[in-house]
Amino acid sequence: MKTLFFTLILTFAALSNAQVTTPMDLGKVNKNCQTLPTPSSVEGRWYVGESTDPQSGITFHMSFVISKMSTTSVLMCQGPGWNLAAKVTTPSAYTGNSFAINGGGFDQSNQGGANCQLNIEPMSLSYTFSGGCLVMQDPQSGQSQLLYPIAP
């Protein structure tokens, strides 16, 4: 399932360091976009959100750390009694209202029978801000994704 930045390959489920999101950072996510000032840059820590597979009960959290020349993508997979994370850092660039992932990468972590995998592919996106949140859009498909800021 390809969703904007990332392709998730999760073999355990059917669903799709201070710099990266950890379970403790989830309390620092602000989802009140309109109450926040508009950022001056796309750089920062951004949270995509979570989804839970109804069959396995596994919850997935996706976040990004965007800097001037690279993007670190983090997928956290949480199941009963375990937490796994996969992290990929790729070259990236942004100008005006465009953002590009200029390389790809793959990472995975395993515990017992659980396997959390993250595959990042090169792509170009456009971006805007909605209040204090970042909106990334795939110009080819027209799909957009709202990203929430993570406080330092």
Contacts of 148 (CB under 8 A, 6+ apart): 29, 30, 31, 33, 46, 47, 48, 49, 133
Q: Where are the beta strands (DSSP E) in 12-143?
A: 44-52, 59-66, 70-79, 82-95, 98-101, 105-111, 114-120, 123-130, 133-137
What pLDDT score was predicted for residue 112? 84
Domain boundaries, the chain: 2-10+49-149
Q: 38-90 pLDDT, tens per residue?
A: 999 999 999 998 899 898 888 999 999 999 999 999 999 999 888 999 999 99
Can you give the pTM of this predicted structure?
A: 0.82
